[in-house]
Structure 1
Amino acid sequence: MAEEVINSLENMKLTTEEEEVIAISKEGHLEEIESCVLSLIGKILMCKPFNKKATQNTLRRAWGRNEELQIIEVGANLFQFKFRSEFEMERVWKGGSWTFDNQVLMLRKWKSGMTTKNVQFEAVPLWVQIWDAPFDMACPRVAREVGSRLGVVEEVERRQRQDQQNLFMRVKVAIPISKPLRRGGYLAGSDGEKVWTTFKYERLPMFCHHCGLLGHDIKHCAKYFALTKNGKEAPLQYGEWLKASGGRMGPNPGRQSRNDTAEDEGRVKPNGLGRATADSHDEVNPREQEGNEKGNNGKAGNNKEAGVNGG
């Protein structure tokens, strides 16, 4: 619809009156500016219809703001979340990513001049675990360097004590939705010797086991359909093994650090600053989307997750 409007404007010959620029003074919409300053713009990265009312109600419960939070539909699959305070807005902003029914809610901070036509969602913030790095490279600086090759680095975990568990490094990265998930990468020191490191993603939402893109599953993958429509089998290069089973302290939510996941309990953990209970825990139907660590063939399908999760 938006593209049709743009195309029609390009071919439209405007009248003199239509070419007039209507200047709006700041005082004329000062109250609305103030409310927009404390707002986030959101869009669900989806491949299937979703219940808007159920999504809004669940987000209210997850964010702990049943009455104070305003959720306004400003476009097709586009929502504005207005908060009462900067603290609450930042708590939600830093507590992401947020998923509903295994579909991720992408968020952007409001900026002056933002409209339904120019707002863009290009990345999803995810905590990435870097496994199997050489002992002498297991440090925040290396984690940041590796994370910068995946996307824009938002945060790097710094261990409080050097003698605690150090199975992997953690870095929070804005992962581009236009590129396949990276499964790992080679690290090389000054001697030039390459070492393969494996990447695992915390709170990883729906992704395709064939092409590795976020936002759809195999059933909605055009590439997979084109390859298999005549009965030909296509190997799955991605799988559930890309999902991290837990955070720094393991799968026990009671012992995890503040940014760790709680998939087994199905809890919402907005960056450790609050907690709400989702409707149920993550659930994967093995008959629908399959794949193993070696990338063997599997059946097409879909991941299912109930409730809202923040990582």
Structure 2
Amino acid sequence: MKLSDAEKKEIKIGRRNTNLAGSEKPQAIGKLMSDRPAPKEALESTLGRIWSPFKGVECKNLGMNRFLFSFRDEAGKLKALNDRPWTFNKRLLVVEDFDPAKTLNEYEFKKIPIWVRLHGIPMGSMYRESGEAIGKEIGEVLDVDVDECGMAAGEFMRVKVRLDITKPLMRGISIFLEDDEEERQDKEMTGEEKNNEQKGKEILFTYEHLPDFCYICGVIGHNDRGCPNKQNLGVGHEFGSWLKAEDWGRRPSEEDRSRNSRDKWGFGKNSTGGNRGSDAITWRKNSFDGEGVGVSGKREEKEATSPLNKQANEEEVESGGKKFLLEGIPSERIV
């Protein structure tokens, strides 16, 4: 389109320091990756109980499954932006920080926070810098699950990244171990050992709470049926369910299910919040008994990245005469 001289005239406008609708509250904008319109009342009620259980959130429908969320505290907004991938009715909800300088169509809705497990790292190399170096190849590093000394131990390391869902999932990466200079000078390697050192080690990735993705192209947001490359269905898939990390949440007891059944959104009346600075899994940092009680005698809250099983995380709720399946309900802990 070619503008006329009259249309090219520039008009200066200002911008208020407040957020939308004159609100001083922290705000974020989200998009539900679904062809079906979602009721904003259900989103407001459900996500309010997850992101800010005691204060809730306000939700405004912006059209095309885009919503403006207003929070009554900064902690709720940070949880929505950085905690984990969120889903509603088995559809991914992408949340971005509100930017008053952007038009609605300038929001890309293409990045989500997610914990990635790094399998195959030698235990002597499980420290924060290693996690950050590998995490940068996956996305923007948000956190690394290490102890007070900056080290980790176990079968894998965990790093939280902001992942670009428009790109294929990374399945792994190769690393090369650097020996200390003195050890390298004293070490006499055979030809086979030199060859193995040159090849390096393969580090495999699995993703916690990974949303639905395509097994053909590895992109989040559509499945095999909707893949633009589905003509390659006859070719062996390079992606699969093995990229989804196993959940560690304990199976809820009869008491848990009874308590949750009194709340149609899946939350018991005894929900409480923690005040930890990280939502990393606490299995390495705390001791637990069989019922999830710490050595201090206080019940440890489950982290957002380790929800209970499907019965406790998916509930059919009714809104406007329709039923919706709610997912992504984390534990009672607040970040």
Fold agreement, TM-score > 0.5: yes
Q: Do residues 203 (structure 1) and 214 (structure 2) align?
A: no
5+ long unaligned stretches in structure 1: 1-9, 268-276, 281-304
Native 8 Å contact 1:37 1:110 kept in 2: no
Give the Å deviation of 1:98. 1.2
Note the C-alpha offset of 1:72: 0.8
Equivalence map 1:1-311=2 (5 Å): 10-13=1-4, 15=6, 19-24=9-14, 26=16, 30=18, 32=20, 35=23, 38-46=26-34, 48-53=35-40, 54-65=42-53, 68-160=56-148, 166-190=154-178, 191-224=197-230, 226-228=231-233, 233-246=234-247, 248=281, 249=283, 254=292, 258-262=303-307, 264-265=309-310, 267=312, 278-279=314-315, 306-309=326-329
Quick one: distance in 1 between partners of 2:167 and 2:104?
A: 24
Structure 1 window deviating more from structure 2 (182-191 vs 138-147): it is: 182-191
Query: Contact 1:75 / 1:116 at 8 angstroms: preserved in 2?
Result: no
CA deviation map 1:72-105 (0-9, x unaligned): 1223221110012223322333323212233221
Structure 2: 5+ residue runs without aligned partners? Answer: 179-196, 249-280, 285-289, 293-299, 317-324
* 1:236 Cα deviation from its structure 2 partner: 1.9
How far is 1:125 from its partner?
1.1
Q: Deviations over 1:94-140 (max 9, x none)?
A: 32321223322111111221221212223111100001112222222
* Cα distance in 1, alignment partners of residues 66 and 208 from structure 2: 25
Q: Does the Cα contact within 8 Å between 2:84 and 2:304 map onto a contact in 1?
A: no
Counterpart code for 2:327: G
Q: Residues 221, 30 of structure 1: CA spacing in aligned structure 2 closer, same or farther, 3 A cutoff? A: closer
**Deviations 1:172-229 (Å, cap 9, x if unpaired)?**
01111121101111111135451111101001001011110011111111201x235x
CA contact (8 A) 1:36 1:110 kept: no
- 1:219 is paired with a residue whose SS is coil
More divergent stretch after superposition (76-85 vs 144-153):
76-85
Task: State the identity %.
Answer: 24
Aligned partner of residue 60 in structure 1, secondary structure:
helix
SS in 2 for 1:49: coil
Residue type of the alignment partner of 1:279: E
- Cα RMSD, aligned residues only: 3.3
CA–CA separation in structure 1 for the residues paired with 2:147 and 2:291: 18
After superposition, the Cα gap between the structure-2 partners of 1:86 and 1:56, relative to the gap in structure 1 and judged at 3 Å, is: closer
| Matched-pair contact (CA < 8 Å) for 1:123–1:175 | yes
Instruction: Please give the secondary structure, in 2, of the residue aligned with 1:218.
Output: coil
User: Secondary structure of 1:148's partner?
Assistant: helix
Structure-2 separation of matches of 1:165 and 1:34:
49
State the aligned residue count.
260
* TM-score (normalised: structure 1): 0.71
- Cα distance change of structure 1 residues 33 and 209 upon mapping to structure 2, 3 Å threshold: same
Contact between 1:71 and 1:82, CA under 8 Å: does it hold in 2?
Answer: yes
Partner secondary structure for residue 145 of structure 1: helix
Q: Which amino acid aligns with 1:23?
A: I
> For the Cα contact (< 8 Å) 1:45–1:215, is it kept in 2?
yes
Q: Assess if the C-alpha contact under 8 Å between 2:209 and 2:305 holds in 1.
A: no
Deviation, 1:306, is: 4.4
* Letter matched to residue 181 of structure 1: L
CA shift digits 1:129-183 (9 cap, x unpaired): 0011122222221111111001111111112589985121000011111211011
Return closer, same or farther for 1:144/1:135 CA change in 2, 3 Å cut-off.
Answer: same
Secondary structure at the aligned position of 1:220 is classed as: coil
Equivalent residues of 2:29, 2:96 under 8 A apart = yes
Deviation at 1:266, TM superposition (A): 5.4
CA spacing shift, 1:153–1:261, aligned 2, 3 Å: same
2-structure distance, mates of 1:81, 1:130: 33
Larger radius of gyration: 2
Task: Measure, in 2, the Cα distance between the counterparts of 1:79 and 1:237.
Answer: 35
